[in-house]
A and B are shown apart, each in its own frame.
Chain A
């Protein structure tokens, strides 16, 4: 998809005034946050698992080349093929070629975030194929021609009525789909035909196992397995950071993934795919391809942002982010929203395009607290802000304001009196209430809350006064 991350301010404005979206966002906390909390409480080993998970990912990243080569060798040994793509464009080219080689028309897809990242649906459609999303959430937003607004619940911004309307229009009927049950049943019926008539199935991967050449895929609906089993060709799209050494290592991450994402102890379907169908098998694809996508990841590996490559895409940081909770996923303007997206998007798209995102955080730190692989997200956001400033990419207004403040702050004889003046002025404006209802040029802030006024004296002045008493 085309990024609108540069228009973040506008996107936020739209999101905050979208009543339907605000109602939908209200459901996030009750759902994901409470369920995760219960799941974590029920597992005393959770913190130990988090530490081990961080170490596994750090070790794997430190030897990434070795593990990728081992994975490749094992895939080939099991009869599959591995393709390497340095960029999104290269990944698209490889997938299109594989679909042509399979003489495909209909291409079913499991949910893949790297697929969104490389905009594979648009490329498939442009090349004359018919991509069909099979995860219910992804299918809904495909019909709506919208990007996902959450990495594990892509259609979380849609109401039941929205979905029923989309189905009526696209499935050409007049029936009332009065319940979530009716909607799910209709999706099941419609999608069954598409599963069974697909020529190529494309899925993502939650983990790649270097030891066995297996691809681990986690779903709740079972759509990933039908996508990977019915068609003649199975193509797996995976970022290079998805590899882990062994199934034992994947077990640690699997124990964290579902609990962090949906609060389940384990998702309904966790599948290891290893190679194409074997000689006597009755089903399964005859060709098995894994496309390993770099697209900025090797650059992250060699930078101060390497920690970001530990991410297992659980979405916990989105669910716990007050900014995400206020504006939803679309406002971020690209594939990855929330704190993880605010780090990833600038690193993949560039700070010029996505420089607003690292600033869209209060740095409250909840994301880091809940991250199953302990990514220091606030720290990474801060580094991106510093880089944005150093490269002169920050908005002019904030650069000037900072420069002005820095000029004064380095001159105590100027700074003290200036601050004293400001503090007294604000205290006077606030009167006996001690709060400011309105403040010129800070309307966006005071529209929804009062600004507590300063106490009428600066800290330095208070310090001098206290010392004077001694």
Chain B
């Protein structure tokens, strides 16, 4: 498709007083240097208790959370939450780490595509960010993006040691793990919300109405 590439870039360079082609390869200039150095700006103080800061931010964002020391406890935490939320079924992302949890016979999640219903969803976050209380969810064959948005209630497991302090820590981790970024990296911070009706906050606009995070200290492996 033909477009205005030359026109727009020409106008931009002209506005900057640089005729097209006059500055050599971008990688050699100031832009190239910044892209290589990736300077980090001011960061909010988190303090020593990173997990405490994370869970506090989760609460600020109207999410709930539980902490489990091992997979068995994680399953119990999920069971307990479902009971309280009044759900009896659960659609889980088809990820080995979730399949291999010691599910009791009375609570066998359905592993598969996220359904558009009032169901409860279960998925896995790769990281947590203490600064914001965000769960970092990456699109993958075993963790499709729609799992994060279609369920009425979303339960999200994550390894406790995957909670980082700041946004920049998460970017650095993503660069190390992925040669090219996943199609979607969702930073989910609390349930979906809107204040478009008279400025009054309502949870559950188009995404989940409730978000429950379960931090698992040992034995949850998000990556093979």
Contacts and interface: CB of A to CB of B under 8 A. Distances in A.
| Residue of A156, A159, A187, A266 most packed against chain B (CB within 10 A) | A266
B39 interface: yes
Interface stretch (B67-75, B76-84, B102-110, B177-185): B177-185
A196 B40 contact: no
Nearest to B132: A266
B180 A78 contact: yes
B29 A63 contact: yes
| Residue of B149, B188, B208 most packed against chain A (CB within 10 A) | B149
A466 interface: no
Given A84-B3, A195-B206, A302-B14, A251 B171 contact: yes
A403 interface: no
Given A86-B8, A268-B207, A225 B184 contact: yes
A281 B183 contact: yes
Q: Indicate the size class of the contact surface on chain B.
A: 35 or more
B205 A281 contact: no
A156 B205 CA distance: 17
B208 to A, nearest CB: 8
Interface in B23-47: 23, 26, 29-32, 34-35, 38-45
A235 to B, nearest CB: 13
Contacts of B206: 134, 188, 191-192, 195, 221-223, 226
B13 to A, nearest CB: 5
A56 B41 contact: yes
Contact of B42 (A27, A48, A195, A282): A48
Contacts of B197: 136, 160, 163, 180, 183-184
B205 A229 contact: no
B9 A65 contact: yes
Contacts of B205: 136, 184, 187-188, 220-223
A369 interface: no
A69 B26 contact: yes
| Residue of A70, A191, A255 most packed against chain B (CB within 10 A) | A255
Given A221-B193, A298-B11, A192 B116 contact: yes
Nearest to A271: B186
A96 to B, nearest CB: 11
| Residue of A192, A212, A298, A303 most packed against chain B (CB within 10 A) | A298
A298 B8 contact: yes
A334 B184 CA distance: 33
B224 interface: no
A211 B197 CA distance: 38
A181 B202 contact: yes
A268 B202 CA distance: 12
Given A94-B3, A269-B189, A270-B187, A230 B146 contact: yes
B180 A222 contact: no
A102 interface: no
A246 B38 contact: yes
B149 A226 contact: yes
| Residue of B113, B134, B148, B189 most packed against chain A (CB within 10 A) | B189
Contact of B185 (A31, A90, A272, A278): A272
Contact of A97 (B1, B145, B191): B1
A73 B46 CA distance: 36
Task: Label chain B's interface by main secondary structure.
Answer: loop
Nearest to A82: B5
B199 A27 contact: yes
Contact of A85 (B8, B12, B194): B8
Contacts of B194: 136-137, 184, 220-221
Contact of B4 (A78, A84, A137, A301): A84
B86 interface: no
B159 interface: no
Interface string A267-302: 111111111111011111000000010100011011
A303 B45 CA distance: 39
B100 interface: no
A187 B11 CA distance: 43
Given A48-B42, A85-B4, A66 B31 contact: yes
A229 B145 contact: yes
Contacts of A251: 40-41, 166-168, 171
A249 B41 contact: yes
29 contacts: A28-B199, A30-B199, A49-B42, A64-B16, A66-B29, A69-B9, A69-B26, A83-B3, A85-B3, A85-B4, A86-B4, A136-B197, A160-B198, A163-B197, A180-B200, A188-B205, A192-B206, A221-B193, A221-B206, A222-B206, A225-B145, A226-B149, A229-B184, A245-B38, A246-B35, A271-B185, A281-B141, A284-B183, A294-B12
Interface of B: 1, 3-5, 7-9, 11-18, 23, 26, 29-32, 34-35, 38-45, 57, 60-61, 113, 116, 132-134, 139-141, 144-146, 148-149, 166-168, 171, 180-200, 202, 204-208
Interface of A: 24, 27-28, 30-31, 43-45, 48-49, 52-53, 56, 59, 62-70, 77-78, 83-87, 90, 94, 97, 134-137, 140, 153-156, 159-160, 163, 180-181, 183-185, 187-188, 191-192, 195-196, 210-212, 214, 220-223, 225-226, 228-230, 240, 245-249, 251-252, 254-255, 262, 265-278, 280-284, 292, 294, 298-299, 301-303
